Chains A and B, each alone.
Chain A
Amino acid sequence: MRSKCEKIERLVSDYIDGRLSEKQTADVTSHIYSCGSCKREVAELKKTKHLLKNFYIEPEAPDTYYAQFATQLRQRIEESAPTAPHQRIAAALTRFGWQLRTQMYRYTDYFRLSRFISIRQHALPYYILALTMLMLIATPFLLTQFPLENRNEHVHSPSTAVHSGVTLAVEQENAASHSINTRRNLNSERTTEILAVDSGSDIWKFTNDRVGDGYIFTTLEKKDSNTVPSVALDIDSELLTYAEFPTQDATSERLMGRDVLTDRRYALLLLRGINTSQHARQQYQRKRSEFRGFSHKLLDVPLEMMSVEVGYDLIEL
């Protein structure tokens, strides 16, 4: 009986509004005739509704208030209107844009598909099924016609590379070694070099010693977009944890404190120096799951070439 009462209690509000089905109404009616407490509750709720309907004081204002309100509102609209010429031009353009948009809505509404094609509600699943099948058939064809390109964007140094010399070798586990050249420009400044390898599921391992001091950055690029979405910026604070160098010198501290490489494409500082490869490996492996969906590249930025095209001038460091 108690569970029945609980069930009825959920329905009484709709019952007194007359919103229940015939069967539910009959259920509630038959129950309240046999249950004193539910009967009392329904009666009291009905009285409550009656009290609200007949005794609630609805706020009303005198006509003078509304007249004053209209005046104030008009003043406020006029005050908020643009006064300077450039503001007026901007407002006029905005208004024109909205008018254009309104007209477009009307146009699209007038030429809506349903005016010409009678889409029956019950046939909608068949339309969806047909559309899905069409997409399944068309997708392989489209992929063969327009293959997705492997987009490895390159980062260029502002310096002009004229000489090839030092080699930095990096290899991945389960992969062959890759050699990349480090170049020098006319001022004997070394330029950056990209190792364009998708390392989404790999661990970087450095085999050869580097020639000089510098910084190795890993960059993140969203595979299907030119920009890294906000998630890359969100995890930026965690990315900086990679800058936990084994030896904390003044330079690294300053570097860690900076919000470096948070450009749309470049995301994190990995480590300094080749001798910390094991440290980097552990750190990188631990955080790797956060970078799914990105393609990773390594970027070697030697100390004497502390500028990258994205505008972060690391010379200050």
Chain B
Amino acid sequence: MDRTEALLIADLCEGDETALAPLIERYKRMVYRLAVQITKNRADADDVMQETFIKVYRSIHTFRKDATFETWLYRIAVNEALNFVKRRDRRRECTLEGASEVDYESTVRHSAQVANDPHAQAEKSELRQHVTAAVNSLPLKHRTVVILHEFEGLTHAEIASILNCSEGTVRSRLHYARKKLRILLKPYMDARTI
């Protein structure tokens, strides 16, 4: 944690609300990225972002220096997003999650048919969509670990701390997720674009 950030946090602890804006500016993209990836819905991600930063604002005094602010923020954002998804699923509201799964399945079938077409294989954008859809099709727990490890670059220990589970659990979920992704992405592994 650099000094500027430490000062901002100290000021926020003192009740200086203006210190929140620079912190938001610094971490907004990270929180947004996480929120969208976990909720798979940009509108829901907006809610998660707001809840996350409001929680930061209200709970900054509980932040202890035994962890970095970034890890602490990760923990809040991830848990907010996970709780949001759980609440949303409980309510059984019509969300894009169900739609995305359906879209993903149809996309995979379609891709399997066109996989023989060398022109289609060459399309990087299509490959990107398939990879993204494959990640989105993972169960929530496994998707979260993949996001934190593969895209956010966090270690197993950091993920375990954020998710409040053991490192063994993190390792197991990651292993399962990779195996599933390997099966899903197998048709695209021989593409010339990779």
A interface residues, Cβ below 8 angstroms from B: 10, 12-14, 19, 41, 44-45, 47-61, 66, 69-70, 72-73, 76-77, 80, 95, 98-99, 101-102, 105, 109
Question: Contacts A44-B186, A57-B129 hold; do A101 and B194 have CB atoms under 8 A apart?
Answer: no
Residue pair A52, B57 in contact (C-beta under 8 Å): no
Q: How far is the CB of B6 from chain A (nearest CB, A)?
A: 12
Considering the complex of A and B, which 3 residue pairs feature the smallest CB-CB distances, nearest first?
A: A59-B36, A13-B175, A55-B131
Interface of chain B residues 120 through 154 with chain A (CB within 8 A): 124, 127-132, 135, 146, 150-151
Chain-A contact segment, one of B21-29, B77-85, B94-102, B107-115? B21-29
Residue pair A77, B17 in contact (C-beta under 8 Å): yes
Question: Contacts A50-B194, A51-B194, A58-B33 hold; do A44 and B15 have CB atoms under 8 A apart?
Answer: no
Question: Contacts A13-B174, A48-B182, A51-B189 hold; do A76 and B135 have CB atoms under 8 A apart?
Answer: no
Q: How far is the CB of A57 from chain B (nearest CB, A)?
A: 5
Residue pair B49, A59 in contact (C-beta under 8 Å): no
Question: Contacts A69-B46, A101-B61 hold; do A59 and B33 have CB atoms under 8 A apart?
Answer: yes
CA–CA, A305 to B48, complex, Å? 59
Residue pair B186, A52 in contact (C-beta under 8 Å): no
Q: Which residues of B contact A101 (CB under 8 A)?
A: 61
Interchain CB contact (< 8 A) of A73 among B24, B171, B179, B182:
B24
| Main DSSP-derived SS at the B contact region | helix
Residue on B with the closest CB to A109? B65
CA–CA, A10 to B13, complex, Å? 45
Question: Contacts A13-B175, A50-B194 hold; do A102 and B132 have CB atoms under 8 A apart?
Answer: no
A-B contact count (CB 8 A): 108
22 contacting pairs across A/B (C-beta < 8 A): A48-B185, A51-B127, A51-B189, A52-B135, A52-B151, A52-B181, A55-B124, A55-B130, A56-B128, A57-B132, A58-B37, A59-B32, A59-B37, A59-B45, A66-B32, A76-B50, A76-B54, A77-B54, A77-B57, A80-B54, A98-B61, A102-B61
Question: Contacts A10-B175, A59-B36 hold; do A45 and B182 have CB atoms under 8 A apart?
Answer: yes
Q: Which residues of A contact B181 (CB under 8 A)?
A: 48, 52
Residue pair A99, B13 in contact (C-beta under 8 Å): yes
Q: Which residues of A contact B24 (CB under 8 A)?
A: 70, 73
Residue pair B32, A44 in contact (C-beta under 8 Å): no
Q: Which residues of A contact B61 (CB under 8 A)?
A: 98-99, 101-102
Q: How far is the CB of A175 from chain B (nearest CB, A)?
A: 52
Q: Which residues of B contact A58 (CB under 8 A)?
A: 33, 37, 151
CA–CA, A49 to B189, complex, Å? 11
| Main DSSP-derived SS at the A contact region | helix
Question: Contacts A10-B175, A44-B189 hold; do A60 and B33 have CB atoms under 8 A apart?
Answer: yes
Residue pair A51, B42 in contact (C-beta under 8 Å): no
Residue pair A60, B29 in contact (C-beta under 8 Å): yes
Q: Which residues of B contact A61 (CB under 8 A)?
A: 29, 32, 42
Q: How far is the CB of B21 from chain A (nearest CB, A)?
A: 7
Residue pair A52, B189 in contact (C-beta under 8 Å): no
Q: Which residues of B contact A102 (CB under 8 A)?
A: 13-14, 61
Q: How far is the CB of A106 from chain B (nearest CB, A)?
A: 9
CA–CA, A13 to B181, complex, Å? 12
Q: Which residues of A contact B135 (CB under 8 A)?
A: 52, 56
Q: Indicate if B119 sits at the interface (CB-CB under 8 A).
A: no
CA–CA, A50 to B189, complex, Å? 10
Residue pair A14, B37 in contact (C-beta under 8 Å): no
CA–CA, A50 to B194, complex, Å? 8
Interchain CB contact (< 8 A) of B188 among A51, A66, A69, A72:
A51
Q: Which residues of B contact A44 (CB under 8 A)?
A: 182, 186, 189
Q: Indicate if B53 sits at the interface (CB-CB under 8 A).
A: yes
CA–CA, A63 to B135, complex, Å? 26
Question: Contacts A45-B178, A76-B54, A99-B15 hold; do A52 and B131 have CB atoms under 8 A apart?
Answer: yes
Residue pair A69, B182 in contact (C-beta under 8 Å): no
Residue pair B178, A13 in contact (C-beta under 8 Å): yes
Q: Indicate if B192 sits at the interface (CB-CB under 8 A).
A: no
Q: Which residues of A contact B189 (CB under 8 A)?
A: 44, 47-48, 51
CA–CA, A69 to B53, complex, Å? 11
Residue pair B151, A66 in contact (C-beta under 8 Å): no
Interchain CB contact (< 8 A) of A52 among B15, B36, B37, B146:
B146
CA–CA, A76 to B51, complex, Å? 10
Q: Indicate if B91 sits at the interface (CB-CB under 8 A).
A: no
Q: Which residues of B contact A69 (CB under 8 A)?
A: 28, 46, 49-50
Q: How far is the CB of B73 from chain A (nearest CB, A)?
A: 15
CA–CA, A70 to B45, complex, Å? 14
Residue pair A55, B33 in contact (C-beta under 8 Å): no
